[in-house]
Structure 1
């Protein structure tokens, strides 16, 4: 029989342990601290006057006799807990508060059932509490862990508090914080969290919001925060967060807002934010420096995208990204460089999404500018003859988005031809049948492929004037073809 499983003989208790034993049935707090601001990090030097064996605490929680009319609870502060606190698979119907305590062994709470757990301000070598079930809240505010915290598959009915918590295991082979597939019935409140190693939230479900404002998540070159298929019914706040490593949110669903305002994300040369195929109510990327690494939003579905152009890095992956609205409203010239940063090259979907966002707010001019930029970008992917034809369409009619260019070209060519033929009339083919020569309508006959004013067939220019007539005919056909292609493209888009 192991020491932690034996029933404790009250006659063997130290004065400190006896004080805790007597206070438990009435739920009275026991505070060994010399001052309220005492640091639990010095707990290794605390003497017998404030040392409590883990076996005693285990016996209290699982086997202690109760007093009628009293509500038992373990409220212990400022104690040094020695030995292994092993309550795995146990059922504890009392509140457990071990705040500002120093543990020399990792508590084992695997698959235990608790009413409430509070380790605020304590110092521990780790925590093994996978699949633990806690009816109320779990409070780890300001707690320091020098080993991994394992809460994978935990079921927490209330909130989980990790504000100001520090998790710094000696190595990063295993995740620093495991909350994968955990279920939290309220908020995950963790502003100021500090971790050295992976924070694993993959598959977890949070009924409230997650707050990691001012957190510092360090796992250089690897995953700092793994939230694949994470479900958050509220908001996910990451304001002023600092990461070394990447944030992974592939397939995650955040009903509210994913807020990365003022964030500093760094994973040089690799993806710093991986949020492909996720579903977000809102995504805020603003007020921070440019992300140091690649941003991957492929196939993400976002209702509201608040994106400041300065935040994006030099490389992005946006293929399949769909968003309902894009804010703040910026000129197209400020948004288009975002699409030029696409690592996979030219992808028309990104341009269509941006143009649609401008159309939804009634900015037709910006939408046309985006569509024109799309066609220019596409032209660079074509063979030489395709590039030539595309350039002709842009110069003549702006790919159908600038139809007045065709009028400018037509009037210019008309003026040039009219002046040339006005100074030198071509000879008539049949002098007795030819109509009076009109240089304007003769030039129009050459320029317009379909309409005829009877001038072109009646007169025959010679020399370089004949060459000019050929050039005007070719220009007319090219202009007409470009206009037709541009108009067709515009009508089809509408």
Structure 2
């Protein structure tokens, strides 16, 4: 391109490029720069000896299509607070550094883009979609305070709805060599991060991901892989947040987050792995939470944050904080969408045993038996009620001791008022109703009374009842005490 074909602003840009100087057109009377001029400048890259060329332009109105499809740009590019009349096409292009901070553009098509250093899209306003699928960014990607997509309206055209479904931000299967910084990002429509690999930190603090509707996914991040932490404190998500199969070696932090998808799944983190999962100090989740088969070392969530329906089968964790009474945690398990899930109770009991709270662990396992009882046939439910009332399914050994004492008193009073006949009057020891009742109740005790006296009629059936009850209750009591002593 000949320099005499250039307008005044374009000539300033052309002359500043070889020395890497900044051209500021923000307050200029004439701000228009043709996209084909910038394309010719970047692909020819004129340079001067001893200088480092760079395109640094602020406040320009870029007319025409900025098309660098599959082009290789050797100089750093910084287009700040520029307005693009048409969607930039950077598909398969290669850059050293690229900054489009503060720019306004209809959309951005940059799938399989390659940037050796950082890619900056801070404060951008893009009513269409930003397509970075399969991109490779050697440094960090910045999307702080960017606003992408447009809020859905009544009677939205089908074409706009299809684009929204495809994603207003597409970072699927991309690779970022350092961090993904997207604090206070706003996305209207789907955010696609599935298959994304980030070597460092993902920060979505204060982000607003808005794609409401029971079947809509606001954040689609299946099999996301993060090198350190994923911070999304104060995240506001309308629509499903899908983290299925995500891997976070450090902290998955959703503290203070507002998750809303009434009538659908608000949070799906099934098969997700993280050292710590935080959902503390958050308002109640509106919609189902699915944590099936997820694995966490630490799970930090209060009972009031859980929604009315949860899916927790296969969820494993080592520690559950804050430490609360077992009754508070059991209310959450009662909301299980799949009904009775034995594993959820065993996992909760294990967590309490991990911190040495054996009483809470027994309470959980007792609640498990009671929940299981409701799934059994009538005879099983009746037997379960009897076990619960008498010995608390074996988890309340002192209750067994109380029943033993009560039956001992009943036996002693009954046989004291109605002594049984001696088998051999001249050889039998003197009758002692308390010792006789103990002989019947305690299988390992022998005072010689039971062998010497034979009750008749209903008193014989009472003796049978005391013998059977004694075996069951004494065994339960001894087993419970032995379990407690062994743990101590």
Q: Does TM, normalized by the shorter one, top 0.5?
A: yes
The answer on whether the counterparts of 1:392 and 1:482 sit within 8 Å (CA) in structure 2 is no
Cα gap change, 1:80 to 1:230, in 2 (>3 Å): same
Structure 2 partner of 1:273: 267
Residue 276 to residue 301, structure 1, CA distance change in 2 (3 Å): same
**Whole-angstrom CA distance in 2 between matches of 1:479 and 1:180:** 67
Stretches of 4+ moved more than 6 A in 1? 485-494
Partner of residue 32, structure 2: 51
With over 3 angstroms needed to count, the CA separation of the structure-2 counterparts of 1:302 and 1:333, relative to structure 1, is same
**How many Å apart are 1:483 and its aligned residue?**
5.0
Residue by residue over 1:190-235, the C-alpha shift from the partner in whole angstroms, topping out at 9 and shown as x without a partner, is: 0100001111111110011111111110111211111111100111
The 8 Å contact of residues 440 and 470 in structure 2, kept in 1 or not, is answered as no
Please name the residue that 1:14 is paired with.
Answer: 7
**2:62 aligns to what SS in structure 1?**
strand
Shift of 1:455: 3.1
RMSD value over aligned CA atoms?
2.1
In structure 2, the partner of 1:431 is: 425
Q: TM-score under structure 1 normalisation?
A: 0.91
Moved more, 279-288 or 62-71: 62-71
The Cα of 1:473 is off from its aligned counterpart by 2.1
1:454 deviation in Å? 3.9
- Pair 1:166-2:147 in alignment: yes
Find the residue that maps to 2:351 and give its secondary structure: helix
Q: Equivalent of 1:191, from 183, 202, 208?
A: 183
Matched, 1:60 2:41: yes
Q: How far apart, CA to CA, are the structure 2 residues paired with 1:347 and 1:71?
A: 65
Within 5 A, what are the aligned runs for 1:76-475?
76-169=57-150, 170-171=160-161, 172-221=164-213, 222-448=216-442, 451-461=445-455, 466-475=457-466
Residue-by-residue CA offset, 1:132-167 (whole Å, 9 max, x unaligned): 100110111100001110001100011100000000
Residue 41 of structure 1 corresponds to: none
Distance, in Å, in 1 between the alignment partners of 2:103 and 2:478 is 72
Where 2:323 maps in the other structure, the secondary structure is coil
> Could you report, residue by residue, the CA deviation over 1:413-435 in whole angstroms, capped at 9, with x for unpaired residues?
11122122223333445433433
Task: Give the secondary-structure state (helix, strand or coil) at the position aligned to 1:217.
Answer: strand
Change (3 A) 1:483 1:285: farther
Provide the C-alpha distance between the structure 2 equivalents of 1:181 and 1:485, rounded to a whole number of angstroms.
58
Deviates more, 1:387-396 or 1:473-482: 473-482
Determine the C-alpha separation between the residues in 1 that align with 2:454 and 2:261.
73
Determine if contact 2:229/2:248 at 8 Å carries over to the other structure: yes
Distance 1:98 1:369 in 2: 63
What is the correspondence of 1:26-37 to structure 2 with a 5 Å cutoff? 26-34=19-27
Q: Give the whole-Å Cα distance in 1 for the aligned partners of 2:293 and 2:466.
A: 45
SS in 1 for 2:123: coil
Partners of 1:313 and 1:487 in 2: CA distance: 41
User: 471-480 or 280-289: which moved more?
Assistant: 471-480
Q: Which runs of 5+ in 1 are unaligned?
A: 1-7, 35-45
TM-score of the superposed pair, with normalisation by structure 2: 0.92
Distance 1:224 1:213 in 2: 16
